[in-house]
């Protein structure tokens, strides 16, 4: 992978963090950094979920609705009837894996299938929680608000997510094979691999990270609603691409994806310090993303051999 693909997200995060500290010096503390990255963990987990789908040359337009559904399950079933809640989570992960298998077996466009499934997930979320409410389990709330001695929980968790996903996706043999689904399916088929099962595994992994994202989100917000994570769909796609991933070829970077998620989380805090109207903040986030991606494209082309 071109070094600029990972260096540019790091530089973007550092520059944005420096500007944030310059605007608000009081944020340069344990409590301030934790506040800046407070919602980074669920966004990072959702971004990793999206990365697993992009890794196999698909794109998932349902991850936001899925995370919202798992948040509703966490705030209701997992709190009131833990065993039933865990069973529901397991079934949702299996459903995600099945979605991947069906997409491959019937050669359906993933973007259409996942868009349709977003309405299914959203409908189930509304059925479980018609109005905002629910309660986060005590153990989950305690876990997400713990205060480690050296680094804030949000930063420490992001590092752990980056390391674990890097080991699973980049360093493990199975991760190499899964990346091969996006890179060269024919070679895998000739080698005797069942691509349908591999895609089901990738989608199942995305479902697992989606479940973790929903749980982390409820642990931070202490409640849920059916639309709590709808914006995660676009944020997750942006995080993967910002972190050096590509839509084709199985080219992804787990560490870059987590850094991309952190950058997008920090961008929201930075824009709030500028006192921009909420109507302008979404557009400003998009402008920041376009600038970084433009810079990446320029540097990557310069780094390519002629």
At 32 the pLDDT is 87
Q: CA–CA separation, 206 vs 66, rounded Å? A: 10
107: in domain: yes
Confidence of residue 23 (pLDDT cuts 50, 70, 90): confident
Structure tokens that stand for 283 in this block: 């557009």
Confidence of residue 306 (pLDDT cuts 50, 70, 90): very low
What's the average model confidence in pLDDT over 202-231?
95
For the chain, what percent of residues have pLDDT higher than 90? Answer: 59
| Of the candidate ranges 52-61, 126-135, 183-192, 273-282, the one whose mean pLDDT is the lowest | 273-282
* CA dihedral for 178, 183, 185, 187, sign (positive or negative): negative
Range of the domain at 242: 4-18+31-303
CA distances from 280 to 3, 18, 40, 285 (A): 33, 22, 21, 9
255: in domain: yes
Q: Residue 143's domain is classified under what CATH number?
A: 1.10.3470
26: in domain: no
Q: Which residue has the tokens 């259409």?
A: 112
At 290 the pLDDT is 78
25: in domain: no
User: Is residue 238 over pLDDT 90?
Assistant: no
- The pTM (predicted TM-score) of the whole model is 0.92
- Give the number of domains in the chain: 1
User: Is residue 11 over pLDDT 90?
Assistant: no
Q: CA–CA separation, 33 vs 42, rounded Å? A: 16
Confidence of residue 2 (pLDDT cuts 50, 70, 90): low
Q: Between these two residues, 12 and 298, which has the higher pLDDT value?
A: 12
At 136 the pLDDT is 95
At 303 the pLDDT is 56
At 184 the pLDDT is 82
Note the pLDDT tens digit of each residue in 80-120. Answer: 999 999 999 999 999 999 999 999 999 999 999 999 999 99
Q: Between these two residues, 294 and 77, which has the higher pLDDT value?
A: 77
24: in domain: no
What's the average model confidence in pLDDT over 115-143?
95
For the chain, what percent of residues have pLDDT higher than 70? Answer: 92
SS3 assignment, position 57 = coil
At 8 the pLDDT is 78
52: in domain: yes
CA distances from 16 to 3, 11, 47, 221 (A): 20, 8, 19, 25
What's the average model confidence in pLDDT over 36-53?
94
23: in domain: no
Give 71's contacts (C-beta < 8 A, 6+ positions apart).
125, 214, 215, 217, 218, 224, 228, 229
CA distances from 255 to 5, 48, 104, 232, 306 (A): 11, 9, 28, 18, 28
Enumerate the β-bridge partners of residue 133. Answer: 224
Q: CA–CA separation, 114 vs 63, rounded Å? A: 8
DSSP 143-159: HHT---SSS-HHHHHHH
């Amino acid at each position: 992978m071109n070094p600029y693909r990972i260096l540019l997200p790091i530089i973007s995060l550092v520059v944005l963090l420096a500007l944030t500290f310059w605007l608000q010096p009081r944020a340069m503390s344990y409590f301030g950094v934790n506040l800046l990255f407070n919602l980074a963990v669920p966004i990072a987990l959702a971004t990793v979920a999206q990365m697993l789908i992009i890794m196999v040359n698909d794109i998932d337009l349902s991850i936001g609705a899925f995370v919202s559904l798992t948040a509703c399950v966490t705030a209701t079933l997992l709190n009131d009837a833990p065993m039933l809640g865990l069973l529901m989570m397991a079934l949702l992960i299996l459903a995600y894996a099945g979605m991947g298998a069906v997409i491959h077996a019937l050669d359906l466009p993933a973007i259409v299938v996942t868009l349709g499934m977003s309405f299914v997930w959203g409908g189930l979320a509304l059925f479980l929680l018609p109005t905002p409410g629910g309660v986060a389990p005590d153990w989950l709330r305690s876990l997400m608000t713990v205060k480690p001695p050296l680094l804030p929980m949000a930063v420490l968790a992001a590092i752990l997510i980056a390391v674990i996903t890097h080991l699973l996706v980049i360093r493990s043999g199975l991760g190499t094979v899964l990346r091969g689904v996006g890179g060269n399916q024919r070679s895998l088929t000739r080698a005797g691999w069942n691509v349908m099962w591999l895609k089901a595994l990738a989608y199942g992994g995305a479902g697992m990270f989606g479940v973790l994202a929903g749980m982390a989100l409820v642990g931070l917000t202490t409640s849920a609603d059916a639309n709590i994570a709808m914006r995660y769909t676009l944020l997750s796609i942006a995080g993967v691409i910002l972190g050096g991933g590509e839509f084709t070829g199985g080219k992804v970077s787990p560490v870059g994806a987590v850094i991309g998620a952190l950058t997008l989380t920090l961008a929201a805090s930075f824009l709030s310090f500028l006192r921009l109207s909420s109507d302008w903040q979404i557009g400003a986030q998009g402008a920041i993303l376009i600038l970084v991606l433009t810079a990446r494209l320029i540097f990557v082309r310069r780094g390519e051999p002629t």
